[in-house]
Amino acid sequence: MWGCVISRFSRISARNLFTMRLKTTEFQSLFTEGLKGLAGLFEKHQYELRIAGGAVRDLLSGKRPEDVDFATTATPEQMKSLFQAAGIRMINNKGEKHGTITARLHNENFEVTTLRVDVQTDGRHAEVEFTMDWQKDAERRDLTINSMFLGLDGTLYDYFKGYEDLQNHRVRFVGSPEQRIQEDFLRILRYFRFYGRVALKPDEHEPETLAAIKEHGQGLAFISGERIWVELKKIVVGNHAAHLLELIYKMELAQYIGLPPGGDVEGMKVVWQNSQHLSPKPITVLAALLRCPEEVEKMDIRLKMSREEKSLGLFLVKHRRDLCRREKQPDALRPFTDFIIDSRDPDCQSKVCELLKYQGEDKLLSELSCWSNPRFPLSGHDLRKIGITSGKEIGTTLQTLRDIWKKSHYKMDKDELLSHVKL
């Protein structure tokens, strides 16, 4: 994979800058009308413009990045006057304090950030100062693989061996892990996330990195639940998730990120092993750590999950034991379909699918995924029409007929069911 991305490379000894030329189709495909317009504008005004951070990492890994951030030597004020003069709309921008201007060209938004150094940080926010020095901007970034720039001519600018680390599947902080973590404690979880993305094997962490994480883990307590939840979910759906969650427990970080103390790590490893090839939702794997519904509630208070995530977590914790394959049941899917039929929850089928992933029931999962929920063909109205008037009697008769219908594998139609009514 790596061979195909390089057309020429050189090592510039001054300041350890490594450059090479990237010419992949993923890179070429970024050049929309909008980007060509943006590039032309910066070139005309002689400001440098490069792709920065995560997008460079993705391009070097042969992936098309989902979002592309740009870095420039122009200050926010210079960018604003440049865009204004060219009649280009800027999007209401909360990022300006940190140097980010968002411009809209050909129906595309482009986030361009002035090169900066973080002069003061409190572990969550940073006071910034603008600079013209690309290396300084690379230095303030978290991981070597996230610290590279890519010129629009395809030149890679790599100050910290990020490309080499990517090729060697290594995740390292830029410079001192302690310092990088203290600047933003969320970087602990970002480290785990990128480990899952890049490393080939679990448990090949650099001791210095783990020591810094252990030392500053409690800083995660100051990070907002929303930011933690975003990262945690990405860790859980990535590679080595069971190992990384176990490590989070071993390093005593769980308490700071909404996971229950003494979570069932062994149980989670089994669920992850059973389900990872079935693309479980993050909460499906995490539910295995939780021992009771109260722990789901507590996790939600810290992490502010969505209503659907919380509801699925509660469902799994409540039903993982009582709703499962029964030994002597010839139609193994029946308990699950009966449960769905009886439920008033419109999301019940998708929740039961997650439960089957949790239980590692591949075959039942594929059967249930193509099962369509049949509608019970009777209503109280039908019973009233044949002369049952008491509300109570309508209720009990409907229940009896429902059971008969379920036993018929949901096949009986309205007339067949009504023939069972004794008037």
- Residue 141 interacts with ligand CTP (CB under 6 A)? yes
Rounded (5°) CA angle 276-235-4: 85
Minimum distance, C-beta of residue 110 to ligand CTP, in the bound complex (Å): 14
CA distance 69 to 56: 9
Q: Which stretch binds ligand CTP (CB under 6 A): 21-29, 179-187, 361-369, 385-393?
A: 179-187
CA distance 102 to 38: 11
- Work out whether strand 89-90 and strand 100-105 pair parallel, antiparallel, or are unpaired: antiparallel
CA distance 367 to 23: 45
Alpha-helix runs per DSSP H in 29-108: 33-44, 54-60, 76-85
Neighbouring CB atoms inside 10 A of 311's CB total: 17
Dihedral angle sign, alpha carbons of residues 72, 75, 80, 82: negative
DSSP secondary structure string, 71-87?
EESS-HHHHHHHHHHTT
Minimum distance, C-beta of residue 141 to ligand CTP, in the bound complex (Å): 4
Binding site partner of 186, from Mg ion, ligand CTP, none, Cβ cut-off 5-8 A by kind: ligand CTP
- Residue 53 interacts with ligand CTP (CB under 6 A)? yes
Q: Which stretch binds ligand CTP (CB under 6 A): 101-109, 183-191, 330-338, 373-381?
A: 183-191
- Residue 186 interacts with ligand CTP (CB under 6 A)? yes
Minimum distance, C-beta of residue 203 to ligand CTP, in the bound complex (Å): 23
- Residue 69 interacts with ligand CTP (CB under 6 A)? yes
Interface pattern 332-371 for Mg ion (x via CB under 5 A): ----------------------------------------
Among 38, 54, 180, 378, binds Mg ion (CB under 5 A): 54
- Residue 190 interacts with ligand CTP (CB under 6 A)? yes
CB neighbour class for 13 (10 Å; exposed up to 12, middle 13-18, buried from 19): exposed
Q: Please report, as ranges, the residues that interact with ligand CTP according to CB under 6 A.
A: 53-54, 67, 69, 141-142, 146-147, 184, 186-187, 190
Q: Please report, as ranges, the residues that interact with Mg ion according to CB under 5 A.
A: 54, 67
